[in-house]
Homo-oligomer: A and B are copies of this chain.
Amino acid sequence: MGADPVKYQLDESQIPTAWVNLLPDLPGEPLPPLNPQTGDPAGPPDLTPIFPMGLIEQEVSAEPEIPIPEEVRDIYRLWRPTPLIRARRLERELDTPAHIYFKYEGTSPAGSHKPNTAVAQAYFNREEGVRKLVTETGAGQWGSALALATRLFGMECEVFMVGVSYDQKPYRRAMIETWGGTVHRSPSDLTEAGRSQAEHASGSLGIAISEAVEVAAGSEDTNYSLGSVLNHVCLHQTVIGQECIEQMGLAGESPHVVIGCVGGGSNFAGIAYPFLRQRLREGTQTRFIAAEPAACPTLTRGRYAYDFGDTVGMTPLMPMYTLGHDFVPPPVHAGGLRYHGDAPSLSALVKEGLVEAKAIAQTAAFEAAVRFARCEGIIPGPEPAHAIRAVFDEAEAAKQAGEERVILFNLSGHGHFDMSAYTAYFAGELEDLEMPDEELAAALESLPEAPALA
């Protein structure tokens, strides 16, 4: 207690003025996405039906910095800069010499990091005359972030919500509607894709994506919007890590290890890529840990290969770690981490050994999240609970080594809309679903024909 601060705050004038694009700094030649029909590198014409040129350019940009438009920064000001917090109570609880810092993205109105890219995507679409954005959502974090962002730019938002979530999570739906968005239960009868899947009444993210893409592709003034995986999404999130660099400077420390959870990779990229650029350019020795669910072990047990981004095979082929686009993750509570692939940029970094991947069991994640909440107050979302588990392990390693290591992690969102998962945890009803080897091997058989990756 006393004079040493708990929170490191920046002024809103210190919101970054550019996003960090790590593409030009990645080792080796970038692997292009491929057109699934021709097998040729996919170019802008493959994407213009559903994305605006402003975002397509960011997707392939060789510029290390992408300026953030003032209108986007103006909206970021509603909640950014977010706090960097030293978890002093947690350090005492863990009896570790490690210094544990977390960046808290749960202060955004939607409760996670997702609005960082939703606002940017809404802006670049509106600049090109797009009137409506369509997307899919599972648990609802992404759908609510996009509803908020489009509203602030006077646009419309249509969200296809996975049927089972639509039924079980009415509160995220209410949030989307409060911000003026329209929510459809998927599969719906509004699209060809939805009607063709009517017998799968509980829906899936794959079906919901297909419905959203179909609506976007079929309308002039309507585009599609994706909440993770793509390069433009990952780079929008780098406001997180850039603020952390400033804030760690205020604390007079720099991280030995940076930790984030990974579903598609965007919150991890957000905190890690600015520090990764320092490592690549300046030779800093920071370690990076990507924490993924053991039930959906893309980076730890998947294959590095070209695969579709969606389940039904409509998107370009992307070079990434994948479990196969047919893989249906078991229903773990970290809905935001249930994705068969990962961002190509993050996959390349794991392949190069610059990022370590670690699989975390669900109950271990919740055990850590509850302990965290009882020290620091904030109740974490199930997704960052996986990062917290990895933090505990690093804090223990520091204790074993007797070293005062600095650990930084991304608390990407709160768990206010996930309390049923905590209830299940306390009731002893959470299962740890390890995937059998045969099941993973079977899913990988769905990989499309494409050049093998080294």
Contacts and interface: CB of A to CB of B under 8 A. Distances in A.
A219 interface: no
Contact of A175 (B2, B9, B79, B419): B419
A12 B1 contact: no
A430 interface: no
Given A107-B107, A178-B370, A370-B178, A148 B420 contact: no
Nearest to A1: B74
A180 interface: yes
A174 B171 CA distance: 16
A422 B178 contact: yes
A5 B2 CA distance: 29
A3 B378 CA distance: 32
A445 interface: no
A109 interface: yes
A417 B415 CA distance: 11
Interface centre among A3, A152, A419, by most chain B C-beta atoms within 10 angstroms, is A419
B374 A179 contact: yes
Each complex incorporates copies of this chain amounting to 2
Given A6-B77, A420-B170, A374 B151 contact: yes
Nearest to A148: B377
B174 A423 contact: yes
Given A1-B71, A422-B177, A6 B78 contact: yes
Given A374-B151, A377-B78, A419-B174, A7 B12 contact: yes
A221 B270 CA distance: 48
Contact of A416 (B85, B111, B377): B111
Contacts of A403: none
Interface in A401-429: 416-417, 419-420, 422-423, 426
A307 B311 CA distance: 65
A148 B375 CA distance: 9
A379 B419 CA distance: 18
A377 B174 CA distance: 14
A376 interface: yes
Nearest to A71: B1
A435 interface: no
A407 to B, nearest CB: 19
Nearest to A417: B416
A377 B170 contact: no
A320 to B, nearest CB: 33
B175 A379 contact: yes
A416 B151 CA distance: 19
A398 to B, nearest CB: 23
Nearest to A5: B12
Interface in A145-173: 148, 151-152, 170-171, 173
Interface in A322-379: 370, 373-374, 376-379
A9 B416 CA distance: 25
A152 B377 contact: yes
24 contacts: A5-B11, A5-B12, A5-B13, A6-B77, A6-B78, A9-B9, A78-B377, A89-B152, A108-B377, A109-B373, A109-B379, A110-B377, A111-B416, A148-B377, A170-B420, A170-B423, A174-B419, A175-B419, A177-B422, A177-B423, A178-B373, A178-B422, A179-B374, A416-B417
Interface of A: 1-3, 5-7, 9, 11-13, 70-71, 74, 77-79, 85, 89, 107-111, 148, 151-152, 170-171, 173-175, 177-180, 370, 373-374, 376-379, 416-417, 419-420, 422-423, 426
Given A2-B70, A78-B85, 16 more contacts: A3-B13, A5-B11, A5-B12, A6-B77, A108-B377, A109-B379, A152-B377, A171-B416, A174-B420, A175-B379, A177-B422, A177-B423, A178-B370, A178-B373, A179-B373, A180-B374
